Structure formats: C-alpha cells, structure tokens
Structure 1
Amino acid sequence: MMTKNSFGNWILPLSLKNFEEQYLHQKLFHASSLKHQGLMTWEGLNGLLNQSSLWSAETLKLYRHAHLVAPEEYCVSSLNSQGHPLLRPHPPLVQKWISQGASLVLNDIAELSLPLREMSHNLKNLFGARVQANLYTSRQGIQAFSSHFDLHDVFVFQCEGEKTWHIYKNRVDSPINHPTFNLLSQDHHEHAKGPLLKKLTLRAGDFLYLPRGFYHDALASKAPSLHVTFGVTRPIGLDIISLLFEEGVDHALLRQYLMPPFVAAQCQKLADHLSNRLKQPDFLQKVHSLFNGKETFSPYTLPDIKQTTPFKVRGKDFSVEYHSHQFWLASATSEAPIPKGKEKLVEWILRHQEITLEEMIQSPLNTSKQEWETLANDLLQMGILK
C-alpha cells in the first residue's frame, strides 16, 4: 500500500516495475506533478534548524559560488552532549550568509522527520540499498556547486520553489568512493562533462532520478529553492572481494608466501579455490546479505500502542503451486486453492516466515490493510500461521 510519501507516488503514472526495468541505473527520469507531496516544507525546515543540538559544522554547511564557507564564519564554540567542544552553527550568522546568496546544506537528515524517515525506509526496502539524505536550499541565480558527478544514484525531490538542472552528455562508468574518482580536479570535470544533454526545471512536487556518474549542476531559477536528495548505493563487485578477503584469513592457502618460481601454479590454486567458493550456497547467502534487508517502518503512535507481534509460518514446507488453471497453497501432504489474485500475497508471507501486519501493509504489493487482515486470518484458521 502506497502512502503519501511512498516513492511510487512521485513517479506516477510510471509503475515501480517499469521504473526499475527502463530507468534504474540506466538513464535519467523526470516526473512532474502539480501536487505538493509534503516531504519537506519551509516550516518543516525551520523546525529542524531550531533544534540546535542536531547541528554542527559537519552536519550544516554553507556554500557560495561553488566554495565552502569556512565554519568559523558561521559557527560559534559550544559543547556537545558529552561536554566535548564543537563548532555550533549560529542562526544569525547562518541567515546572514544565506541572505548574501549562500546555499544551505543539511547532511544526514534521513531520520529527522516522519516523512523523511518514511521515504528513506521505502527506498531501502525497494532497492536493497544503503540510503542517506541531504537537504539543499538555494537563492536565485547563485550556484552552490560546480559541474560534478555523484558516486551514488541520486533521487531528487523538489519540495519548494524551482531549480534548473543541467545534465551533460558524458557519464563516468560506475564511479565509487575512491580517490580515483573523488579527487579529480574541477578542470578535469569541465573537460570531461561534454555538451549539454538536457535542461530541466524542477518545481514543487517534481522528482528527478540521476544514475551515478552523470555530470550535472543546478541553479535556483526564481524564488528560493528547497529540495531533498536521497543518495542510494547498492552493493558492488568489490564488496564480494571484501567478503573473500575476510574469509581468506582463515585459509592457509591464502596466507602462504608467494614463491617466484611457483607463482603461476600458486595463482592457479588460488583461482580454483576462489572460483569454487563463489559458487557455494553459504557464500551466495553472504552476498545476498549485503543488500539491506526489509526494514519495518514503525513510527511512534503514543499514547496508543500498536500490536507488533509477528505472525509466524508453521514450518517451511509450504509453497505456492500452479496446476489445473489454479494456484494452490501446497504442503507435503495436502493443498488448498488460493483465491484469484492472492497468490503473490501468500508467496510474500511464506517467503518472510515471520512478519507483522504492518510489514504486510508496507510491502510493495499495493494491497489494502483490510485485504491483508482477511488473508492473515484465513491463514491462521487454516493453521498455516500462528
């Protein structure tokens, strides 16, 4: 079931399935909507900023004309909750810089409000990825960042005002967080970005997706702009190398000295060992664990307390089968027909083994609470769930 701040609402009428097949990791996507989605507002931003203990020179930054403003220019000395010194942004100084055209950047905000947290968990669950969120505000006609590419997929949600984006033709192939990519000079970027591919103006309620590696820059075109960007990072092949390295400590073969006369033979032994290891089910399970597991979005509901006790599947020998023009819920000894259209819901429950009603409702299957409750009760009565 999609909620107000579900990712699927921002890309309508495109479906999530079509987004993954046609755009994810491949090309940019722009969805324009006249409806304000409420992910963040000026009022909401001010509410966050007024919680001064959230902010430091690391989490609140100012940029002007593509240069970082020194923290000493907008911060004052303070102490954190442990009594350690830190530079704390001072509201009058921050607003002075903003009035002079500086752009405000808030880092790591994914958990700081209910709508942000909802979107963050939604993206994690949809793409099995690590997600971090930053907020940007800009004044008209003053650029905060020069042309650059990002090391992660970029999900841009325009919340207030307008911002014009320039997307360039050239794309860096699969950049990662490594000096090879993140220490390139601005001269390199200017020569490498190529000609303008597309110019887009995002308005409140608009969404822009940029796969990692696309060169871009942006500029507030009219009134002050406010947008939130979620950086989405999936596991890569080098993460598998890291798993093999950690395991290798326990294998004498990988700890042995290399001997010049026998390097070719030793490399062959290593290749055979690693090739075999990559095929083993327990290692493949480790690789799958690199993807963020499904997280339940469970906001506080005080003073009411929601029941979060999970349903549990009785055993692991249940499956969904298809024969005789009908889907069946089958076990080793019996089977029962599944009502038309409910087979994916049953598969979802069986796959998770242990699942709460809230997790069912927040699944990407776009099913109402009432339908999930009815199905769960039916499975309880059948003895499939407990």
Structure 2
Amino acid sequence: MTRLSIAACLGEDFLAQALHREHRHVPGALDVAGLMTWDDLNHILAAHRLEPPRMRLSRDGEALLVGGYTTPVATRRHTVWHRLHPAELHARLNEGASLALDSVDELHPPIARLCEAIERELCTRVQANLYASWTSTEGFGVHWDDHDTVIVQLDGAKRWRIYGTTRPFPLYRDIEDPGEAPTETVADLVLRPGDVLYVPRGVWHAVSADQGTRSLHVTCGLQTHTATDLMAWVSEQLLAHEDWRRDLPLLASPDVQADAVDGMRKRLAELLDDPVLLARYRAAMDGQAVGRMVPSLPFIDAVPIDGGLRVRLTTARAVLDVGENAVTLSAAGTAYEFAREAEAVLRPLVDGQTVDLAALADTAGLALEDVAGLVKELVAGQAAVVGSLL
C-alpha cells in the first residue's frame, strides 16, 4: 500500500474541524485494492482458531450462541476448541447475522499497515475490526462506541444511519449513562468501496447491508486520550518529588492537612503551567507504544551482516530527537542513544519504511557491520524486526 494520509483522505480541514467533533464521509477517498478481499477473509477463518468473542456472529444487537456455527473439538491435551462449521456459518449469515472479527490488523499485514499509517499521523493506538454482512438485518442495533472510528468500505455497500449524541464524550468507565438513543437521524449514508467514514465516540449509529448486496468493511478504532489520562501521567512525573511520595496525613490536625494539600497543589500547578505539557505527554505516549511486535526468527542472537536483510520498526509511533552530538530514538518503551551519524539510518525507519541494511549503510555512509549492530539493539528491544520478505 502506498503512503497513506488519513487526514488527506478525510479533507485538509479534518484535523482542525472534524477530529473529535463531527462525523465526516468522503466517497472514493481510498484505493482499497489489495487491502482485504473475501479470499483473504476465508483464509484467515480457515487457518486460525478464532475463539469467540474475537470472531463472533451477531443479529439484532445480540450475539449468537457459538454452537450455532462451530463444532467443539476435544484435543489429546484435554482442551476444547471450536472448529468453524462452514455450512452452518453460511446458514447463520444468510439468516441475517453479521460476522465480526476483532484485531484483524494482527492477522493480515495490509490492514496492519493501514493502522500504522493512521497511528503515525494521529499519534494514538489503532485496532482494526472487520465486519461482513449480507442482509438488511442490523447486526448490532443502534449503539455508540467509546472511541473514535475510521471506517473503510472494502466491498459491496453498507448503510449508516447517524443519530448524533446524547452525552458528549462518553467513556467506557463513566459516571453517567448516555441514556436512550435519539430517534431522528442527522445523516443517512451509503458507503461503497473506497469510501471513508469518520465517526467520533459517543455518536449513536446503526449499520445494515440493505442495498441488495453484501458488505465488507474495516473499522479502525482510535485509542482515546482524555484529561484523566494526562493526569495519570502527570502523577507519575510527580513521584520524583518527596512530598508526592509521602504518606497522606490522614490522622493529623486540620492545619497540617491543609498545609499538605497546599504543597501538593503548588507542585501540580508547576507542572500544569508548562506550555508544552501536552507535547511532552504525546511524545511520552508515542515512545512507550509497543506497536505490533514480531519475532525475527531465525536470528535469535545476532543480526547477520547481510546487505539484503530487510528491517522495519515494529511501532509506527517512534520518536526521534536529534541533538548536536547524538540522536535519541524512543520506541516500544525504550530510549536508545546513538551517534549523530545514525540519524540517516533511523529516519527512514521512523517514517515507516522497510529498508535493506545495504541501503541504510549507503545512505548513512556507514559500514554494513555498524548498521547491523545498531539494528541488533533495536531488535533486542523489540523495536524492530528483520527478515527477507518483510
């Protein structure tokens, strides 16, 4: 898949006008050739033991019993798994069920690359779920999600009825329920292959394949970052100060308690007064993001000095800081410091490229063995993967 900008797909004003604010539909925004086909889905269903709820069928907002489309199999190791029964699966889908497959980005590399492109641009974790349906019956009813979503229609057509919100920015763990769904739609859309739809969290919607054709689409869910998440991170930074590690004076006099709270307030205010606090938080979250870790077998103890060996990062959110004498790469929870010359090796990897070691060595003007040594550090920290056909 060519380099994707989800913001460009959704309009040049998407980040400023729509993100976290309102739904947006752009017909024909993305070339979906090679992204996911029905044959790809058939192969995934046949080749993996996808226990519910990862793979499930739903109809009218209710999950179907797994026994209606699988057969239990007892193994010699005294475990039981559910083998998919294709004929029964076909029957349930023909009766109006929808098929959902969670975390398909972990099963199909083109979808993983789509998610990584979105992660790189929007700086948040993305999980892709796949949905297939054949009838006008709604698989999940009128509902809202607790995270923003980017939907890409892969095949066929899907009708989306958008109803708006009843509670702004609801959370998975919230103190108040959003209540009943609105009855009036704010948009009635039909998605066709290549269409992209953005739906913010909390927006009620209903989806059905009622256009006389089947439907296959992928929904990319974006991890939410709220002020509560920021405060949790700030609390970790405050642990550097003794007064934030000290036991609370719960049994002391009111004056002592008031002084303790005043001291905490001042420390907190100092951090919140930092004008680049949100940028620091974003960089910290990006550097900690583990991405999609992949083994580098058979290279279990070293990276061979082989110019044809290819390398890419396992995370799309690595942060590269360039100083006068050194560069620091924060990736998959580890900070690496290298000589300034390593920037030419690291930059294409941070940009999401898969590159062979020889090309990196030529670009940076470094010896191949030095590049292999650098990559070995990244592989050891699970920030990179090497192989021949990545």
Relative distance call for 1:194 and 1:7 in structure 2 (3 A) is farther
| In the alignment, structure 1 residue 28 sits paired with structure 2 residue 23 | yes
Match of 2:33 in 1: 37
Query: 1:47 deviation in Å?
Result: 1.3
Kept in 2: contact 1:157–1:206 (CA 8 A): yes
CA–CA separation in structure 1 for the residues paired with 2:158 and 2:77: 40
Q: Percent identity?
A: 23
Query: Does 2:226 align with 1:236?
Result: yes
Distance 1:242 1:37, change over 3 A: same
- Structure 1, unpaired ranges of 5+: 320-349, 364-368
Instruction: Answer yes or no: is 1:359 the counterpart of 2:349.
Output: yes
Q: How do residues 100-249 of structure 1 correspond to structure 2 at under 5 angstroms? A: 100-170=95-165, 172-180=167-175, 184=177, 188-190=179-181, 193=182, 195-221=184-210, 222-246=212-236
| Partner SS for 1:141 | coil
Q: Is the counterpart of residue 276 in structure 1 residue 270 in structure 2?
A: yes
1:291 corresponds to 2:283: no
Aligned position for 2:247: 255
Structure 2 unaligned blocks of 5 or more: 299-305, 314-319, 327-339, 372-390
For 1:106, the aligned partner's letter is L
Aligned-partner SS, 2:263:
helix
Equivalent runs, 1:32-111 vs 2, <5 Å: 32-33=27-28, 36-53=32-49, 55-78=50-73, 84-111=79-106
Partners in 2 of 1:86 and 1:212 — Cα distance?
A: 34
CA shift, 1:354, in A, is: 6.4
From 14, 18, 23, the equivalent of 2:11 is 14
**How far apart, in 1, do the equivalents of 2:346 and 2:184 lie?**
51
Deviations 1:328-372 (A, max 9, x none): xxxxxxxxxxxxxxxxxxxxxx8x946446426647xxxxx9xxx
Distance in 2 (alpha carbons) for counterparts of 1:314 and 1:154: 30
Q: Contact 2:345–2:364 at 8 Å: present in 1 too?
A: no
- Give me the whole-angstrom Cα distance separating, in 1, the residues matched to 2:292 and 2:345: 10
1:317 to 274, 299, 324: 324
* Counterpart code for 2:39: E
1:359 counterpart SS class: helix
What is the deviation of 1:95? 2.4
- Counterpart contact for 1:10–1:207, Cα < 8 Å: no
Give the SS at the match of 1:43.
helix
Q: How many Å separate the matches in 2 of 1:48 and 1:265?
A: 61
Aligned residues: 331
Q: Which amino acid aligns with 1:228?
A: V
Structure 2 CA distance, aligned partners of 1:356 and 1:73? 51
Equivalent residues of 2:101, 2:129 under 8 A apart:
yes
The separation in 2 between residues aligned to 1:277 and 1:80, in whole angstroms, is 56
Letter in 2 for 1:269: G
| Inter-CA distance 260–37: structure 2 relative to 1 (3 Å threshold) | farther
Secondary structure of the 1:290 match is helix
Q: How does 1:374-385 map to 2 (within 5 A)?
A: 380=365
**Could you say which residue in structure 2 is the equivalent of 1:366?**
none
- Secondary structure, in 3 states, of the residue corresponding to 2:53? coil
Q: Is residue 25–residue 196 contact of structure 2 (8 Å, CA) maintained in 1?
A: yes
Structure 1 residues 316, 156: CA separation in 2 closer, same or farther (over 3 Å shift)? same
Q: Which amino acid aligns with 2:195?
A: D
Cα RMSD after superposing both structures: 4.3
Aligned counterparts of 1:95 and 1:89: Cα–Cα separation in 2:
11
Per the TM alignment, residue 252 of structure 1 is displaced from its structure 2 partner at its CA by 4.9
**What one-letter code is carried by the residue in structure 1 that aligns with 2:228?**
L
| CA spacing shift, 1:283–1:205, aligned 2, 3 Å | closer
Q: Partner amino acid for 1:48?
A: I
Does structure 1 conserve the Cα–Cα contact (< 8 Å) formed by 2:94 and 2:135? Answer: no
Cα 1:207–1:256 shift into 2, 3 Å: same
Q: 2:11 is matched by which residue type in structure 1? A: L
Q: Which has the higher contact order (CA 8 A, sep 6+)?
A: 1
**Is 2:243–2:264's contact at 8 Å kept on the other side of the alignment?**
no
For the structure 1 residues 120 and 82, does the alpha-carbon distance in structure 2 shift closer, same or farther, using more than 3 Å as the test?
farther
For each residue in 1:40-66, what CA deviation from the matched residue of structure 2 results, as whole angstroms up to 9, or x when unmatched?
22111111111132x001211111122
Question: Shift in Å at residue 30 of structure 1?
Answer: 1.0
Q: Which amino acid aligns with 2:180?
A: H
- Counterpart in the other structure of 1:332: none
CA contact (8 A) 1:147 1:189 kept: no
